[in-house]
Amino acid sequence: MTGPRDSKPLALGRRGFIQKLFAGIIGAVLGLIPAGVGVTFLLDPLRRKAAAGSAVRVASLDALPDDGVPRKFPVIADRTDAWNKFPQVPIGAVYLRRTPDQKVTALNSACPHAGCFVEFKPGDGRFLCPCHDSLFAVDGNIANASSPAGRPLDTLEVEVRNNKEIWVKFQNYEAGKSKKIPVT
């Protein structure tokens, strides 16, 4: 027979079970927090990669003469690889030019054939690639029929902010292709 005295251990047992259940739930929730932090950490480089291709301040408008001759400028920005961030390092170079109608254009200085840096030859008024002799006109178009480059120099988006700063959306494109395919 079970009396009132016998039901006490049973009640305590039930209470103990509920306490353990709650403790288990709280433990599981607390365990999820580091797991969430870990997932965020794992995905962090992917989130940082998403920032690639954003506009970078390259030069002041004053630094670009209005004589129509392209000038070369380095592109300095934060670079991230899978896990590391390198603040303010050169990530490439661009040729900026003021056109006769005072617009600013930008060309990636990497040759689309195999990625060598082209050089603008003021005397010739064209870009020469020293690696395999591709020639490009001042606007970046292919200038010699025997050019091994399969496309013009890569144009980039430019914005003049506050009428004094030149910002470029810097992007590299795959070499050796006839179309512009962004390097991701």
Point out which residues bind ligand FES (CB under 6 A). 111, 113-114, 116, 129, 131-132, 134, 148-149
CA atoms in the 13 A half-sphere facing the CB of 109 = 19
User: What is the smallest separation between the CB atom of 109 and ligand FES, expressed in angstroms?
Assistant: 11
User: What is the smallest separation between the CB atom of 106 and ligand FES, expressed in angstroms?
Assistant: 19
For residues 158 and 106, is the Cβ–Cβ distance under 8 A?
Answer: yes
User: What is the smallest separation between the CB atom of 133 and ligand FES, expressed in angstroms?
Assistant: 6
CA–CA dist 91, 79 (Å, integer): 7
Among residues 159 and 174, whose Cβ is nearest to ligand FES?
A: 174
For residues 96 and 104, is the Cβ–Cβ distance under 8 A?
Answer: yes
Among residues 111 and 168, whose Cβ is nearest to ligand FES?
A: 111
Q: How far is CA 140 from CA 124, 134, 167, in A?
A: 14, 11, 19
Among residues 103 and 132, whose Cβ is nearest to ligand FES?
A: 132
User: What is the smallest separation between the CB atom of 172 and ligand FES, expressed in angstroms?
Assistant: 14
